Amino acid sequence: MAGEKRRFSTLWILIGVVVVMGIAVSGFYRNLSAGDETYKGLKLFSDVIDLIEKNYVDPVDAKDLVQKAIQGMVNSLDPHSQLLPPEAFEELKIDTQGEFGGIGIVITMQKGALTVISPIEGTPAYQAGIKGGDIIIKVDGQSTKDMMLWEAVKKMRGPKGSQVALSIVREGVQKPMDFTLVRDIIPIESVRAMTLKPGYGYIRVTNFQENTTEDVVKELKKMEAATPPLKGLVLDLRDNPGGLLDQAIQLSDVFLDNGLIVSIKGRQKKNTKEFKAHLSGEKREYPIIVLVNGGSASASEIVAGALQDHKRAVVLGTTSFGKGSVQTVETLRDGYGLKFTIARYYTPSGRSIQAQGIVPDIEVKQRIDEKEADADDFLPKEKDLKNHLGADPSEDKQKVKKEPEPKEELTKEKKEELKKQLKKRKTESRYGPLDIETLQSDYQVMRALEILIGHDVFKGVKS
């Protein structure tokens, strides 16, 4: 890793010399070996930058050109490698740390307008009465027109106790509404739990961050100490995009006493490792159903694959996303980060997750309009992404594939509606509170509960 880091640092230094100082670098390269293809490429790159900067029809920002060139280089590797500008790098760190200073809203750009998807329950935005669908037109008096999403996020975040003013347009309200909010620490909860029925627990893990396993164990201990104690568990990993590898390993270890959890295999020896389970003092022998779908990726696939291979859980739902590659993030100068792929994941039985996904033991699609269908059917998975890696290093990168065709004919409007439902479901899954009514109307959750109850009944008959 250190050698690669030095190479990228060298590249950045060379580019900085060309762009900032505008010096001719041809003399420098004359002293390099003519057979060194890397430096030949750098010479060509510097020539192109120089020509464009001096002769292009309109003035260009050389720094912007360089950043886009590096981004293009990294993006050509695979869909998950990228140059992270300071704002994006900061977002990535916040996502894994589990909290930030802000007002507690989920926002998006919708038709060019900064739109609230939903407030996070219990936060300043929620308590002030901000609602999903509200359009933010000003932040601290500055118009959000032409403002980038990351700029808006940065303006609304800040230290606990500081203030931010929002002007909002709401459907049905004639005049803009003004809010002055006091920022607070906004927790990003990755674990939510509830009892579906006495003795049967439900835990939803929305992503893997620093405290995920600790929070799951806390919820398990509550359920195990209840009356009646835990007899079966639904572990919901649907729409979980992944996160920290060590947390996926630790969560798997909570339910396994021995054996391999996951192995990673990379080109460098240091990026080839095996992670094994350890015997703990807690005996957890109750049956588990793990829920997955097309939005379950990376770390969530590691957990599902480990529990499935060890016959410790039944996996129910639809085939997962298939992101079986390992990324690392290196810190660069000026607040930039470089995320790039260093290895592939393999389940205990040796299955590659990459571009394959975890196939459920019991396929159950989510019910929409009283039919078993799922918006995941109409969205691309890892195997459909451009430049995706194959399941094995010997496989060539696959060409970009067309969007999978649904099994039944649906109108364009119906597909778009399904996609909107999927987006809404993901938002509610990550930020919304749990309530028993919603879970009771969730077809996949109820099927999992039926199986757990049936197992318990059968066990009683057998004994």
Which structure tokens are listed for 232? 């079966």
296 is known as an active-site residue: no
| Catalytic member of 81, 252, 298, 300 | 298
Write down the H helix ranges in 130-280: 149-156, 212-225, 245-255
Place of tokens 């703990």: 280
Identify the burial level of 386 via C-beta atoms within 10 angstroms of its C-beta, where 0-12 means exposed, 13-18 middle and 19 or more buried. Answer: middle
Q: Give the Å distances, CA to CA, from 422 to 358, 373, 412, 418.
A: 20, 12, 15, 6
| Catalytic member of 215, 309, 374, 442 | 309
Neighbours of 426 (CB within 10 A): 18
Cβ contact 171:152 at 8 Å: no
Which structure tokens are listed for 439? 């879970």
What gap in Å lies between CA 449 and CA 186, rounded to an integer? Answer: 33
298 is known as an active-site residue: yes
376 is known as an active-site residue: no
What gap in Å lies between CA 36 and CA 26, rounded to an integer? Answer: 15
Supply φ then ψ for residue 443, to 5 degrees: -60, -45
What gap in Å lies between CA 270 and CA 326, rounded to an integer? Answer: 13
Beta carbons within 8 Å of 458's beta carbon, 6+ residues apart: none
| Catalytic member of 323, 352, 377, 426 | 323
What gap in Å lies between CA 277 and CA 270, rounded to an integer? Answer: 20
Supply φ then ψ for residue 51, to 5 degrees: -65, -45
What gap in Å lies between CA 246 and CA 239, rounded to an integer? Answer: 19
**Catalytic residue positions, numbered:** 298, 309, 323
